[in-house]
Structure 1
Amino acid sequence: MNSNQYGNLLRALEVERDCRTLLLTPTLETLDTPLSGLSSGHLTKPICRDSLYDELLALIHGIRTGHREDTPVSIPERNQVKAPRILAVDDNEANLKLVMTLLQDCKINAEGASSGFEALTKARKKPFDLVFMDLQMPGMDGVEATARIRDLDSDTHYTPIIALTAHALADEQERLSQQGFDGYMPKPISSRQLNELVREYTGYDCKASGTSFKISEIRDTGRILRPSNRRIQQDCMSIGESIQLAAGKADLAEELFSMLLEQLHSDAPKIQALWDEGNHEELLECIHKLHGATRYCGVPELRAAANRFETALKCKAADREILKDQLTCAIDRLQNWSEQTDWQSLFREQQRQPEAY
């Protein structure tokens, strides 16, 4: 069958027959096709038993488990390697804040930059031991900033640069290497991967700094389930997931959620205006930033809606307007929830009970 036939089959199963489907693909490349937006679940081959079990449990019973995550361990020994100088670059304020918080918790001398120009300015003033570079930024993007930082390298100093990317596509690793990157880290940021990359490129062990934290790895392949025709719609907000994504820090989770609400206040009318103008290029940039912000908050419905609409815009899918309307509804639901709920108290209650996470 061709892609259109597969799409019709998935649509018939998911919508007409209210049957969950699990998409199995060799790579994550289908995240950029309409097929991934139609299926309820998505796994990449080779299939691991635990991943398959978790996905089936979610599809059949609506239960998301976290047993695949290892228990974080704090190592009491002192770190023998001097804390490195690390630069984090991201134009999304929430993304940058989370990375900076995790690095600072490791007793690392970290600096942040919100644009490629700012990153280059900081790199010219002093060398860094490692750089985390977002790829998509207005003005000077991550690729150009990396190329210019490479020009600053000398025989006595080389700056490892790690790309921060939303999709870890199969062919993207080679392309990033050709563009001057030493590695990549997929969003949302995983504390385990962050620790491993810092240790690999600087020799500094974050765990040995005495800090014990963990961010659950939530990927778009584990998207929120499409509400069943026979079941009530799922909640639009999860306090627990927000805290997990903020490294178990309730105060940071509250601040990131507040930043998202502030962003939605300006994004909601902007999305509709750009759509009405037919300015899909600027609309895609707006949705990409919104999707990035949702990755660090417990807003599964909005995250999934933003992901589907972003994918549809990239592929110029025929159902873009439907997906745009779904995103608008998800924004409205979250804003209504925030107005009708004392969510600050919910976060602060969890802050007084950190052992729950």
Structure 2
Amino acid sequence: GTDDYPTKPIEEPVLKQVLVHWNPNTCTESIGKVAPSYVDEPASEVPATAENTQPDVIIDWQAALKQSANKEDLAKDMLRMLIDFIPEVEEVVDHALEQDDYSREELIHVIHKLHGSSSYCGVPRLKSLCATLEHALRSGASIEEIEPEMFELQDEMIKVTTTAKLYLEQ
């Protein structure tokens, strides 16, 4: 067994380190510790809010490239998959806002999936909004209580979809 694991988002150097560490045929002197790129960020129990991210950055292409190991085609594919998923999220958010008895669990599931997707695409405000919403919902907030953030999420998804065209058409 092992008690070692890489956390999401998985970074290639960290994954290699874990694999080398647990391979019995590896010389232990050659293993160096690699910290994930996000280790320098201060840890916080409460996720970053949309207000404390850069307000003018819709897509941080350098962050997207970093997540894709500087492979532009992969970064574009990841962004395209995010854009393809957004209509499904919009539909769920619309239903959640319109129906008083909409399933919080379904909303949490979709927001969690969008949060994960946005982690790989260099969309800091969208990622932050998802983190805020997911945290609030998992903490017991009602859909009515997070309505303003849901409207922000709708606006941000439109901005990301519109801005993504500039990167995907290149």
The answer to whether the Cα contact below 8 Å between 1:274 and 1:282 also exists between their aligned partners in 2 is no
In the TM superposition, what is the alpha-carbon distance from 1:274 to its structure 2 partner? Answer: 3.3
Does 1:279 find its partner at 2:100?
no
Q: Which residue, 262, 270, 275 being the options, matches 2:92? A: 270
| Structure-1 residue corresponding to 2:121 | 297
The answer to whether the Cα contact below 8 Å between 1:189 and 1:217 also exists between their aligned partners in 2 is no
Residues 189-223 of structure 1, C-alpha deviations (whole Å, 9 max, x = no match): 13332122111222477xxxxxxxxx843878594
Matched residue SS, 2:51: coil
Kindly indicate which of the two structures has a greater share of residues assigned to strand. Answer: 1
| Structure-2 residue corresponding to 1:257 | 79
| Structure-2 residue corresponding to 1:193 | 14
In the TM superposition, what is the alpha-carbon distance from 1:265 to its structure 2 partner? Answer: 2.1
The structure with more radius of gyration? 1
| Structure-2 residue corresponding to 1:343 | 168
What is the CA–CA distance in structure 1 between the aligned matches of 2:115 and 2:151, rounded to whole Å?
Answer: 15
Identical aligned residues as a percent: 23
What is the CA–CA distance in structure 1 between the aligned matches of 2:87 and 2:25, rounded to whole Å?
Answer: 41
Does 1:226 find its partner at 2:51?
yes
Alpha-carbon distance change, 189 to 332 in structure 1, aligned in 2, over 3 angstroms: same
The answer to whether the Cα contact below 8 Å between 1:216 and 1:245 also exists between their aligned partners in 2 is no
Alpha-carbon distance change, 317 to 260 in structure 1, aligned in 2, over 3 angstroms: same
- Aligned AA for 1:226? E
In the TM superposition, what is the alpha-carbon distance from 1:249 to its structure 2 partner? Answer: 1.1
- Which is further off, 284-293 or 330-339? 330-339
What stretches of structure 1 of length at least 5 have no aligned partner?
A: 1-159, 162-181, 206-214, 346-357
- Aligned AA for 2:141? A
Output the aligned Cα RMSD: 2.9
Task: Work out which structure has the larger RCO, using CA pairs closer than 8 Å and 6 or more positions apart in sequence.
Answer: 2
- Aligned AA for 2:152? Q
Q: Which residue, 132, 138, 145 being the options, matches 1:308? A: 132
Matched residue SS, 2:5: strand
What is the CA–CA distance in structure 1 between the aligned matches of 2:121 and 2:80, rounded to whole Å?
Answer: 10
Q: Which residue, 44, 48, 63 being the options, matches 1:241? A: 63
Matched residue SS, 1:247: coil
| Structure-1 residue corresponding to 2:32 | none
- Aligned AA for 1:201? W
What are the equivalent positions in structure 2 for 1:1-357 lying under 5 Å apart? 160=1, 182-203=3-24, 216-217=37-38, 223=48, 226=51, 233-277=55-99, 278-317=102-141, 319-339=145-165, 341-345=166-170
Q: How many residues of Structure 1 are paired with residues of Structure 2 in the alignment? A: 154
The answer to whether the Cα contact below 8 Å between 1:216 and 1:244 also exists between their aligned partners in 2 is no
Matched residue SS, 1:235: coil
Kindly indicate which of the two structures has a greater share of residues assigned to helix. Answer: 2
What is the CA–CA distance in structure 2 between the aligned matches of 1:235 and 1:263, rounded to whole Å?
Answer: 21
What is the CA–CA distance in structure 2 between the aligned matches of 1:267 and 1:193, rounded to whole Å?
Answer: 31
TM-score (norm 2): 0.76
What is the CA–CA distance in structure 2 between the aligned matches of 1:190 and 1:342, rounded to whole Å?
Answer: 23
What is the CA–CA distance in structure 2 between the aligned matches of 1:252 and 1:288, rounded to whole Å?
Answer: 22
TM-score (norm 1): 0.39
What stretches of structure 2 of length at least 5 have no aligned partner?
A: 27-35
In the TM superposition, what is the alpha-carbon distance from 1:257 to its structure 2 partner? Answer: 0.6
The answer to whether the Cα contact below 8 Å between 1:185 and 1:193 also exists between their aligned partners in 2 is yes
What is the CA–CA distance in structure 2 between the aligned matches of 1:217 and 1:198, rounded to whole Å?
Answer: 20
